[in-house]
Structure 1
């Protein structure tokens, strides 16, 4: 019932799913050399591709990258020929898995954003009136917040992604102005908030 009510609020405000404002796409794909088109060579190339993507998203090498997860996190891959007819493996990986793995290891998640921009995953519960949702979304579209994406509704929580140059403290203050307080049971790289 709670999920249905929250979905009704989102749809009532005309936001739909996915969201009102989409941030620029972040590149979680890589082309890497493939020595030969065999299962073993593809597995090695997938790990090389994952290492390349994680380093790009973190903005630095990730020596403790969980390369053994490459097969699980790959969304799609294929073999292609490069400009000089060399074999390449092209692979794209799940952004959420990579972001979570990087954050859990203490790395920043920069993606395709320059400078000090960071994308935060939020879960907000306690939304019961359209006005609360409108105030929350309006606050998250203020200067300093470059992207807002509604990812969905799960278990009565509104799932969002916010790209900001302001940092977590300013994000907390922005959300507090909209009536939300951060709970300290955040898991999986998701910041959890409750509307008062």
Structure 2
């Protein structure tokens, strides 16, 4: 009863909380480009929209080939709550999928689900053409393809203002540099988890880009191509999403039951932790003082990456508190130390 009462108090604070990682809005809504509003094109568009959603939620390109999902790809309307059209340009089929039905279908297919709490990225995107170089800024027309692609691939994206001072920072030299020292300093005002630097170039009507991503102590890089700015932006965001998924999404069979103990919790931090742990089937076992104990189903490295978004630090086992409470319901078992992770703010 004490645990239930504490949870009721904690839940009252959910509506007025600061956020660490961003909660990606409209995660189950897909804007799928279509050529027309004919029945055949609509049917094909609904199937493509489901494929886009499955890739967004799993981060695994092979997931769209799952035989367990074949029936849903043949008849996507089993998972759809509503759909309509957006005139654009481009013309798009806007599809709202039912989250509970989609998650159930993915789990029955043995596929993981990447939750809505995802790392925010500030993108320094430089377009180069024969007319010169332009840093893409928030609220510019050139930002539209980036924002569409980020929403399509489920990435919380922030763009710089691209004012005069930032134009001097967003140069080819800084954006293609092996270390993002200048960009990192200019990115502090945007409070993002990661930094994406993209040098895009138009050549004979085709677009290509080199991109680099820094998140925590790791970096990624790659190349992308597209027939137009929209196609290029989508190719970059898809590649970035797939790289991030390898860090935040556990592959089937790689998860195990873990006990997570977190010290230094407050009402605000509790709510943020609930969102971060949602895709890991987290169950709160105990809440005492500023210590929370959870049972989660996750890969340890995946759990560490997710908790890093809330600026949690892993604590040595010797520093962990001992929240043993004989009256807690349910009682906390004491698993082997290798299955216990301790973190603190």
> What TM-score results when the alignment is normalised by the length of structure 1?
0.51
Aligned twin of 2:8? 11
Structure 2, gaps ≥5 residues long: 120-243, 250-278, 297-302, 315-321, 333-345
Assess, with a 3 A threshold, how the Cα gap between structure 1 residues 98 and 25 changes in structure 2: closer, same or farther: farther
Aligned twin of 1:120? 280
Aligned twin of 1:157? none
Written as runs of structure 1 = structure 2, the 5 A alignment for 1:1-196 is 6=4, 8-13=5-10, 15-17=12-14, 23-26=21-24, 27-37=27-37, 41-61=41-61, 62-64=64-66, 65=69, 66-67=72-73, 70-83=76-89, 86-110=90-114, 112=118, 114=244, 115-118=246-249, 119-124=279-284, 131=288, 135-136=291-292, 144=305, 145=307, 194-196=330-332
Tell me: higher relative CO, structure 1 or 2? Use CA pairs within 8 A at least 6 residues apart.
1
User: Could you tell me whether the CA contact under 8 Å between 1:43 and 1:71 is conserved in 2?
Assistant: no
Cα root mean square deviation, aligned: 4.5
Query: What is the distance in 1 between the residues matched to 2:12 and 2:109?
Result: 34
User: Could you tell me whether the CA contact under 8 Å between 2:284 and 2:294 is conserved in 1?
Assistant: no
Larger radius of gyration: 2
Q: 1:68 Cα shift?
A: 5.0
- State which drifts further: 104-113 or 73-82: 104-113
Secondary structure at the aligned position of 1:116 is classed as helix
Assess, with a 3 A threshold, how the Cα gap between structure 1 residues 35 and 78 changes in structure 2: closer, same or farther: same
Q: 1:49 Cα shift?
A: 0.5
> What TM-score results when the alignment is normalised by the length of structure 2?
0.33
User: Could you tell me whether the CA contact under 8 Å between 1:124 and 1:195 is conserved in 2?
Assistant: no
Structure 1, gaps ≥5 residues long: 149-163, 167-176, 180-192
- More helix as a share of residues: 2
Query: What is the distance in 1 between the residues matched to 2:41 and 2:53?
Result: 18
